[in-house]
Amino acid sequence: MLPLDTHLYTLRRDGQTQRLQRRVYNILMYLLEHRDHVVSKDELCEQIWPEQFISNSTLESAMRLVRQAVGDSGRSQRIIETARGHGYRFVADVVEHPDIQASLITTPTPPAASPPQDLRPALGPVPFVGRQRELAMLHELLEQAEIGQGRIAALTGIPGMGKSQLLKTFCQGLRKGRVTSLNGSCLFNRTAKPYLPMLSIVRQSCGILLEDSAETMTTKVYRHWQDIGLDANEGVSYLLHLLGVEASRKQLVAVRPELIRTRTVIAICRMLLASCRQRPLLIAIEDLDWIDSASEACLSSLTDHFAHAPILILTTCRPAYQLPWMDKPFATHLPLSPLTARDGLSMVESMLTPDHLPASLEQTILTTASGHPLCLDALIRLVAEQGAPTAQVILPDNFQDILSARMAQLPDGPKRLLQTAAVLGSSYSGRLLEAVWEGPDDLDACLSELERRFYFTVQDNAGEPVYALTHELIQEEVYNRLSHARLQALHTSVGQALEVVYASRLETISDLLAHHYLRTEQDDKAIRYLTLLAETAAQHGLHSEAIAALQVARTRVDGQPGEQPCHLGLDLALRHGQSLFAMRRWQETVTLLTQHQVPWDQLQDLRLESHYSLLLSRAYKRLEQWEVADRQAQHALDAATRHRDAVVMGQAYHVLAEIRYGSESFSEGMAMSQRAVDLLTQVEERVRLGKAHLVLGLNALFFGDFERALHASEQARTIGNAVDDPHLPSFADWLAGWAQATCGRWEEGIQACQRSLENAPDPLSAAFAQGWLGYAYLERGETDEAIPLLKQSAQQMHQLQHRRSDALYTTFLGETYLLCHDLNTARDWICQGLTIARETSYHTGVAWATRALGRLDQASNALAASEQHLQEALDMFETLQLRFEVGRTHLDLARLMHLRDNSDAAATHVIEASNMFRRLQVPAYIDHAQLCARKLGLPSFP
């Protein structure tokens, strides 16, 4: 029973009578009188504050005071219930007494004044003072954005300078419906989840709650994309993958992590750019100096495309952070300075009501705070919480001691809750807080006390309260004062609570779980969640973030006794090596893996053994250390065979085929490639299967089996299109163009290489496409088109340190100048190509350049030198089994022998060439050999 006297404006609770503040009384009476329905927030504001703009923060603060007055809370809601998404409703029973008027008094007599020296025991939010100029600038930026001029601004200042308050005040002061507001925060944490602020923005855009199921999230994302006019087939799967929907992860399993990263960024930006066409967007990202690389890429991409979009991005960061876009015309810098003495005094007077507050105490407060808003707020609250002030009050002179003094006045229950909140982090749901709380005191009472003293803020999230400490510095100071044992106990409790509350989607909070268990003695769970976090990051192509998590996990493995740490250490090293390899850091991959390798017979883990050896073989292959790469690949194949792992077996054969290609054993490479294709077809490893087809095509092309090479390239192109991987079709097209141009189908070859160049997804793919397009023009004799393409591709290959291709394209460039009869320039380029090929032990390149020198010597009438070079080239081509090039070199020798009046030798070479072209089934060159015979006046042959 809570007697409410409408004459005296008092409420009796727990044996004590309290006089209600005017707005508290009015709100309570309005809700009581209209308890037959849910009172909307708009209705309440219109009735209690007519003709005034009331922000959500002001209304929520007022409602907290009402709940405190009646002994209710935002969690229990026994008396005033929050109706999800609508408003409030008085739900307790009401008994009317004859001597009590239960009606709304619109102009009540104000409650009796408090004693002169009684300061407010419960202060509301920090008043907004001293930032009117910055606030006006934000409004000006929004007006510019609303007319289609995208803007981004950085609010900078040291912690506690009021960046967040300025941002919050600006957002809450906007007319309802004017903009769509989205916000996110960054965390200073090595185990923070990639895309953290953007993930929050995606959830808000689609109306997704953390507790939503995968099915609900999927429905909401598809509905949102439909609402903003986007094709759901273009990007939705990447957003769902980001949100942790398992079905989307499986759908994208064949897509390269690097493509997932790029397309996730594109999908987020497309969604935001489409959303702003319906209503201007206001995007707020706090603590930008701690942003992760993935979110930074999103922000950078968005600013690259929002020049004509109604988007305003507001960020906060510390002064030392180098803003990457600050020199752009759409960017604004708003540094926040300390408050002036006048603004500080205004803040004191607005929070402490007595007019006769001793001037000396006012001055002490202002001097101690030095214009620092958070410090000033803490001092004011400390004075209010201490009771009646006197001129002799001694105040702490730094924020840490001020907070310590405030905490000393807290009862044990609220103090323990404040410590728990500091460990929980930036924000947390009521369910999580309830699951963690272990104190003997009533949680609702402790929450009310901390809310009353403004340690906490609370917001409604679809009917569930979400709590947060009012400032990160409070969290840091409270956290740093806890003992090691207390911290371990609290982090353990939080970790266990998270596992219970979010049991069905632990992978989506792996960063939180890793953060908490890292600060306990439960190494197994810390390693488990760090590994899961690294796996998620690697799946998105964020290998630096993956490595950071794995390195932290490594510190919890090293030094542990027993066999299990050995397995864990090798597994972490393998994951670390996979990310290093993906970043093209091949020598580091080898160094890492060899440092942690142990005798496999001691480990008895065939799965780990096969994967470890496979990665080592791939790294050694990239370093062109063919022999050791071959040994590791064979080891991986043997272990996978014993383990009956067809996937690793197929990958091992694929690596062996690449090694054979790299070591120029093309016939063996074809056999290995075909085995890889057969195995990977069975296990439906489509991307790896596409790559295996390409290696098969390369080996077949050099071996002179053009139809097989063309078939393999077509298979790779088909797979690439099916899995939406642009690398495979681009590679397949220049491979097909190379093969077609070589065997005399020049027009088809040129078209295929042009298509490859147009669709090249990266600089290396473009360099390959350019080089082989130049080669195709060379084969057709179009030197003007060939020269710039070959020159540019050779330069790009040199920059990309792809020296074998550099050698080939440089030699082709020399041959092009030879066709132009520029013999000196031709010799320079050919000799340069020969040098590069010799330096890299590239025998095919040496043979090709040597033959080019033979042709050059013939054009220079140095026939003896020509014969020597051509014969050397022929011998090398025969040793390498480059059968088609053997045939073409025989034709070169036939022409030379004719010039040297050796008809018999010329006839022999023509016949050898013709026979080779017939075996290889190359009609254009069969005809070419016949034409050569006729031109040389040689007898015809079948």
SS (H, E, C) 711-774: HHHHHHHHHHHHCCCCHHHHHHHHHHHHHHHHCCCHHHHHHHHHHHHHCCCCHHHHHHHHHHHH
795 and 845 part of one domain: yes
> How much is the average pLDDT of 71-75?
69
322 and 356 part of one domain: no
Q: Measuring CA to CA, how many Å separate 775 from each of 485, 721, 741, 757?
A: 71, 26, 8, 13
Cβ atoms of 31 and 80 within 8 Å: the answer is yes
Do the domain assignments include residue 606? no
Give residue 73's pLDDT.
65
Contacts for 356 with CB less than 8 Å, ≥ 6 apart? 116, 117
**Taking 50 as the threshold, does the pLDDT of residue 750 lie above it?**
yes
Rounded CA-CA distance 680/686 in Å is 7
**CA 13 distance to own-chain centroid:** 53
List pLDDT tens digits, range 764-809: 999 999 999 999 999 999 999 999 999 999 999 999 989 999 999 9
911 and 858 part of one domain: yes
Give residue 233's pLDDT.
80
Strand partners, 313: 152, 283
> How much is the average pLDDT of 342-353?
85
Do the domain assignments include residue 813? yes
Rounded CA-CA distance 5/105 in Å is 12
**Residue 314, SS3?**
strand
Per-position b or e across 384-422, b if 16+ CB within 10 A of its CB = bbeeebeeeeebbeebeebbebbbeebeebbbbbbbbbb
DSSP assignment string, 75-131:
TT-SSEEEETTTEEEE-S-----TTS--S--SSPPPPPPPPTT---SS--SPP--S-
Rounded CA-CA distance 265/298 in Å is 5
> How much is the average pLDDT of 51-55?
58
**Taking 90 as the threshold, does the pLDDT of residue 49 lie above it?**
no
Cβ atoms of 942 and 926 within 8 Å: the answer is no
Closest CA to 224 of 180, 192, 193, 257: 180
166 membership: H or E segment, kind and range: helix 163-172
Do the domain assignments include residue 611? no
Cα-only R_g, the chain: 37
Cβ atoms of 88 and 31 within 8 Å: the answer is yes
Give the angle 281-287-291 at the CA atoms, nearest 5°: 85
Strand partners, 314: 153, 284
Number of structural domains the chain divides into: 4
Of the candidates 314, 335, 356, which is a domain's last residue?
335
> How much is the average pLDDT of 750-776?
96
Strands 87-90 and 39-40: antiparallel
CB atoms inside a 10 Å sphere around CB 795: 14
54 membership: H or E segment, kind and range: none
Give residue 157's pLDDT.
94
Phi, psi for residue 593 in degrees, rounded to 5 = -65, -40
**CA 517 distance to own-chain centroid:** 23
Give residue 564's pLDDT.
64
H-only helix segments in 370-483: 373-386, 399-408, 412-424, 430-436, 443-452, 472-480
Do the domain assignments include residue 127? no
315 and 347 part of one domain: no
Task: Kindly state the tokens that stand for 393.
Answer: 């009050």
Rounded CA-CA distance 515/533 in Å is 11
Give residue 254's pLDDT.
80
CA terminus-to-terminus distance, the chain: 116
**CA 188 distance to own-chain centroid:** 16
> How much is the average pLDDT of 680-707?
94
pLDDT band for 103, please (50, 70, 90 cuts): very low
Q: Measuring CA to CA, how many Å separate 190 from each of 193, 290, 365, 557, 650?
A: 9, 10, 38, 17, 36
Task: Kindly state the tokens that stand for 206.
Answer: 């689609």
**Taking 90 as the threshold, does the pLDDT of residue 842 lie above it?**
yes
Cβ atoms of 289 and 185 within 8 Å: the answer is no
List pLDDT tens digits, range 161-212: 999 999 999 998 898 889 999 999 888 765 678 899 999 999 999 998 877 8
Closest CA to 546 of 519, 585, 517: 585
Do the domain assignments include residue 713? no
43 and 175 part of one domain: no
Give residue 92's pLDDT.
85
931 and 801 part of one domain: yes
Phi, psi for residue 515 in degrees, rounded to 5 = -60, -45
63 and 186 part of one domain: no
Do the domain assignments include residue 667? no
**Taking 60 as the threshold, does the pLDDT of residue 122 lie above it?**
no
50 and 35 part of one domain: yes
Rounded CA-CA distance 403/419 in Å is 13
Of the candidates 271, 303, 335, which is a domain's last residue?
335
CA torsion sign, 565 to 566 to 571 to 574?
A: positive
CB atoms inside a 10 Å sphere around CB 77: 17
Give residue 116's pLDDT.
39
Residue 618, Cβ density class (10 Å: 0-12 exposed, 13-18 middle, ≥19 buried): buried
pLDDT band for 8, please (50, 70, 90 cuts): low
331 and 191 part of one domain: yes
Rounded CA-CA distance 871/856 in Å is 14
Domain, as residue range, for 30: 4-90
List pLDDT tens digits, range 709-749: 999 999 999 999 998 889 999 999 999 999 999 999 999 99
867 and 918 part of one domain: yes
736-740: long-range contacts at Cβ-Cβ below 8 A with a sequence spacing of 24 or more?
Answer: 736/709, 736/710, 737/772, 737/773, 737/776, 738/701, 738/772, 738/775, 738/776, 739/697, 739/701, 739/706, 739/709, 739/710, 739/713, 740/710, 740/776
> How much is the average pLDDT of 44-66?
70
pLDDT band for 125, please (50, 70, 90 cuts): confident
Give the angle 592-596-597 at the CA atoms, nearest 5°: 110
Q: Assign residue 777 the CATH number of its domain.
A: 1.25.40.10
pLDDT band for 550, please (50, 70, 90 cuts): very high
Task: Kindly state the tokens that stand for 629.
Answer: 């790469």
Give residue 899's pLDDT.
92
> How much is the average pLDDT of 76-88?
76
Cβ atoms of 189 and 515 within 8 Å: the answer is yes
Give residue 107's pLDDT.
31
Of the candidates 40, 64, 90, which is a domain's last residue?
90
Give residue 356's pLDDT.
53
List pLDDT tens digits, range 260-306: 999 999 999 999 999 999 999 999 999 998 898 899 999 999 999 98
Do the domain assignments include residue 79? yes
Give residue 719's pLDDT.
95
Give residue 117's pLDDT.
44
Q: Assign residue 180 the CATH number of its domain.
A: 3.40.50.300
Rounded CA-CA distance 533/540 in Å is 11
Q: Measuring CA to CA, how many Å separate 97 from each of 3, 149, 706, 798?
A: 9, 62, 101, 94
List pLDDT tens digits, range 184-194: 988 876 567 88
- Residue 302's region, left for phi above 0, alpha for psi from -120 to 50, else beta, is alpha
Do the domain assignments include residue 645? no
Give residue 115's pLDDT.
40
List pLDDT tens digits, range 380-400: 888 888 765 555 567 888 888
Cβ atoms of 809 and 793 within 8 Å: the answer is yes
> How much is the average pLDDT of 456-480?
82
Q: Assign residue 48 the CATH number of its domain.
A: 1.10.10.10
Rounded CA-CA distance 849/834 in Å is 5
pLDDT band for 603, please (50, 70, 90 cuts): confident
Task: Kindly state the tokens that stand for 49.
Answer: 């504050």
35 and 67 part of one domain: yes
**Taking 60 as the threshold, does the pLDDT of residue 52 lie above it?**
no
> How much is the average pLDDT of 930-941?
80
141 and 237 part of one domain: yes
**Taking 90 as the threshold, does the pLDDT of residue 316 lie above it?**
yes
